[in-house]
Structure 1
């Protein structure tokens, strides 16, 4: 049977201020989405996937889309010569090359591949009523002005997002490990640069390694006023046996909660350490997919 890896990740608490939405005059707004009846700050799935590509480049993996530091733009390493066997991003994230002008009758001229990795939008745990504003003066005033004033929206919050991937859909199934490694070490998501740093690596996460094609754990984290994490929907689904406890792997700070200890008693794999937990899951993945664990264990170290 086909295996699937599903995940729900939550970041550390941080100050988000530079993932830009619609501008309002000289104010830089954070993008927002309605979630549970209130506006929340959001980060796009495209921004998360772009950060993954940047991580793979830093790891020395062959990417088709690379970053041109001089012109600050993403470009193709070899024009639009897509090759999912060679390039990890063509394999994991997919591509489409449409040449409508060259299509002949009865032919489909679009060269395309649906990405094996699905990523949700990230949603803030705090709602947008917690946004504050800063007012600033640019270090490089425009010609004719003594200074250039602008304001930004900021919010102190965690973000959570989910993903799903089916290794059987990958041309190179071993790349599942590179995807997991990238998500565990993710940074520079949503407009990070020198004056703004937000750590997008997970503080806590719930993973599901299963034959079941649907996640059932997507965006299930909740947080109270004291920043205490909970995932009541996950507990409920495990207790009523909608999700087999043995399929769930829980890492990070959430592992210290009463809920997590209850889930561990039901049979879930619970590890306070993200690194140690991911290594244990890697062992299970390598056994199930017949991969050599010695070759891949350093990727998650």
Structure 2
């Protein structure tokens, strides 16, 4: 079977119905395109665990703020098609914004609690847009499983909460962070970075690695760990932190002392490019193979 590229919602539903009639399971990998090895790892995982895989490629306007990079967000459908096909995907769903948000569209999905922390503070409408578009994709594809990267740890937590609260009949699968050989977490936005900024961007993973080493050596003082991370970030001339936090891994509230599973999370502007990264800090399991 060859891979298909579909723009129309009803075409996607018809194809998925045909797969269901053959008894196939379906995995969904939601993306905004400009796919890299991190996305490819999600597609490969989905292909291992499902008979058919749908990859959505949609730069979702409702999750961008008015001064954010919607118009300049990188796009390359030809390369995306090659990546999906090479990674084992069976369909790309590539809708127009007008199909996803037709005239007079007025329904949104809000997830409370965790969306007020971290990225939700500096991007107040972001998670409403994420929750809304992911709900729409779930309703269109009706997958058995949906795959998301743990680099966007807060997004993954929001989607898990939404799926549980709304009794969505699917499994949410979180997949490991994929990094460049020098440690930079893969992101479509890395393409914005100049050569100098690309070098500066390494302070994110460097700060998290230092945090993890201090944690493994016994430090449980969140404030001390955050100050050390800020010191490392300050060493890059183009780096301006949005937040440097250590939060409870479930509630995403800041913690003073790490007594149970926590997340060290960063959002840093490198020049004009906002990058995020994180590492898990678990007193019961101090290893983190992703960093």
Question: Does TM-score exceed 0.5, indicating one fold?
Answer: no
| TM-score (norm: length of structure 2) | 0.28
Higher strand share: 1
Higher relative contact order (Cα pairs below 8 Å, separated by 6+ residues): 1
Larger Rg: 1
Higher helix share: 2
